[in-house]
A and B are shown apart, each in its own frame.
Chain A
Amino acid sequence: MGSIISVKDMCLWYGDYQALKDLNIEIPEKSITALIGPSGCGKSTFLKTLNRMNDLIPGVKITGNIYYEGTDIFSNDVDVSHLRKEIGMVFQHPNPFPMSIYNNVAYGPRTHGITRKVQLDEIVEQALRDAAIWDEVKDRLKKNALGISGGQQQRLCIARALAIQPKVLLMDEPTSALDPISTSRIEDLIMELKKKYTIVIVTHNMQQAVRVSDYTAFFLLGELVEFGKTDDIFSQPKDKRTEDYITGRFG
């Protein structure tokens, strides 16, 4: 399987502090890649670099390259707006906008220039279906999105991200704020989504990484220690530090 994102010698500094060190990683297409590691290891920072959300933080400096389908995402003629249309993101805490469910999902397509009602209706329905929440909300599309449960809100956020038809979906601990039942629904959903999308997911939960991911990358202190098939990483880690971490000896 080919890689959709390839990272070459990437380093990232917050001011003088180096948060990511010489990362090299190829993210395979239409598969699920889990990023694991103890808190502060840089996995979330790395995730946010992939759609350039770190651009917003003052004092951030990045060297090296990240190629998305062969294009360097840091090159001057790349528009961040288009990059983020290709690489969507779901956040740790469900963050629907304080507007109706429909408008939440339609926000992205509208931003990217789709204004026809018929077309929007179609996109919204498809996105909600893909996010496995259509049946629950189809009768209250005009209701405020803050009125549904946390698990539903997170699936709505996934639908919102899907509505702009990205190719890659970045997920930053998408279930850490949810209860076990909502978590398992979202995990099922993620596995379903990999048929159409490439997914990169940050998780603190080893079981979750084993359950859902095809590939796993283990980060420690800003370094990529090991990257490979999830089965291999968890059954026969090559690096001592990986073994220590996944067997629960630290972190």
Chain B
Amino acid sequence: MRRICSRPSIFCFGDFIMAKKKKTSTEQVIHSTEPQGINLDHSKKKQILENIVHGIFLLLGLIAVGCVLLITVYLFISGVPAIHKIGIVDFLFGREWASTAADPKYGILPFILTSIYGTAGAVILGVPIGFMTSVYLSKIASPRVKSVMQSAVSLLAGIPSVVYGLVGMLVLVPGIRKVFNVPDGAGLLAAIIVLAIMILPSIIKMSVTALDAVPKEYEDASLALGATPIETYFRVSVPAAKSGIAAAVVLGVGRAIGEAMAVMMVAGNVPNMPDSLFQSVRFLTTAVASEMAYSSGLQRQALFSVALVLFMFIMLINATLNFFLKRDGNK
């Protein structure tokens, strides 16, 4: 029950006035035992106040919509000109980014591929860990362990990205340099590991919720057929929760592709094609972050175009997420 008052919906100003008139007349009827003169005046004033308040709340409600529109419009307005000038093919599929060269090149394929590889790597690394942890927490762990781990996971979600970046710079990057014996540890692999850790909380939280919601009847049926508890969790509970788990993964993808600062601190930040795991690379996010401060002219416009491409990726991910959530909701 969301609706309290049976008043007709109010959209535009015309409806607004009509609704106001209707309401006034009903109130008159209700209060007809009271002295007419005073009451009419009073209730009219009250009604005006009610309508004003309603209008204000409507405006507040629409702010979120306004913000989305504003962001979309601004990104398009500022992102499209550079794409137009550079040419969409040269922009999206150009393999070289040299924004400050005498003959500047604005190809963002390295950024796009880095973002895709980096996110894919984070998913390959983070999803199995998050998934296995979720099954353990949802099905096996004692209530105590579960609640302690859930607060630990919330903590992981709350750690600022710059802290991830800092620890990555001082632990991960030197670690990679030593273990793999490469000249510089800052690069794609370091970014992938940091992102994998950063997406863990989203994956775990959402998967645990989905697994907790699996009806116990399914599990009982499986156990009664002689399956062991673990066989039951992986062959019945997990398939039953697959939409929720898929949504968790998509959410993680969204997190990974949008992360800027932590990646900026460990990825080396050179606009190379991501040819190897140890290559120093730039993501879509870090491309924007690293040049914005001192950019101008076409370079600056191109950075907005990069942001636009990133935004498109995010919207695509949002749509996928919604698809999975809706499918789960309909079941």
Contact = CB atoms under 8 A, between A and B. Distances in A.
Direct chain A–B contact by Cβ atoms under 8 Å: yes
Interface of A: 51, 53, 56, 80-85, 88-89, 91, 93, 95-99, 107-108, 111-112, 157, 160-161, 164
Nearest to A163: B225
Contacts of A98: 218, 239-240, 331
A153 to B, nearest CB: 11
Interface stretch (B50-58, B227-235, B258-266): B227-235
Contacts of B224: 51, 53, 84, 88-89, 91, 161
B226 A91 contact: no
A128 to B, nearest CB: 16
A88 B225 CA distance: 6
B212 to A, nearest CB: 16
A82 B223 CA distance: 11
A89 to B, nearest CB: 4
Contacts of A97: 218, 221-222, 236, 239-240
B231 A111 contact: yes
A51 B226 CA distance: 9
Instruction: List 3 tightest A-B contacts by C-beta distance, closest first.
Output: A95-B217, A89-B224, A84-B226
Name B's interface SS: helix
Contacts of B220: 53, 91, 95
Contacts of B226: 80-85, 108, 111-112, 164
B211 to A, nearest CB: 14
Contact of B223 (A56, A99, A112): A56
Contacts of B217: 91, 93, 95
A144 B236 CA distance: 14
B218 A84 contact: no
20 contacts: A53-B220, A80-B226, A84-B225, A88-B224, A89-B224, A91-B221, A95-B215, A95-B220, A95-B221, A97-B240, A98-B240, A107-B225, A107-B227, A107-B235, A107-B236, A111-B222, A111-B227, A111-B231, A157-B221, A160-B225
A124 B221 CA distance: 17
Contacts of A83: 226
A89 B228 CA distance: 15
A85 B224 CA distance: 8
Contacts of B228: 81
Contacts of A89: 224
Contacts of A107: 222, 225, 227, 235-236
Interface in B218-277: 218, 220-228, 231, 235-236, 239-240
Contact of A81 (B215, B227, B236, B239): B227
A164 B236 CA distance: 17
Contacts of B235: 107, 111
Contacts of B223: 53, 56, 84
Contacts of B331: 98
Contacts of A157: 221
A95 B218 contact: yes
Contacts of A93: 217
Nearest to A170: B224
A99 B217 CA distance: 14
A53 B223 CA distance: 8
B60 to A, nearest CB: 41
A161 B221 CA distance: 9
Contacts of A164: 225-226
A181 B177 CA distance: 73
A112 B222 CA distance: 12
Interface in B195-227: 215, 217-218, 220-227
Nearest to A51: B224
Contacts of B221: 91, 95-97, 157, 160
A56 B223 CA distance: 10
Given A88-B224, A88-B225, A107-B227, 12 more contacts: A53-B224, A56-B223, A83-B226, A84-B225, A91-B221, A95-B215, A95-B218, A97-B218, A97-B222, A108-B225, A111-B226, A164-B225
A82 B226 CA distance: 6
Nearest to A144: B331
Nearest to B214: A98
A194 B228 CA distance: 28
Nearest to A55: B223
Nearest to B232: A111
Nearest to B237: A97
Nearest to A95: B217
A111 B236 contact: no
B232 to A, nearest CB: 9
Interface in B107-123: none
B241 to A, nearest CB: 10
Contacts of A161: 224-225
A108 B117 CA distance: 40
A80 B225 CA distance: 10
A93 to B, nearest CB: 6
Q: Tell which of A80, A89, A96, A98 has the most Cβ of chain B within 10 Å.
A: A98
A96 B240 CA distance: 11
B319 to A, nearest CB: 24
B240 A111 contact: no
B83 to A, nearest CB: 45
Contacts of B239: 97-99
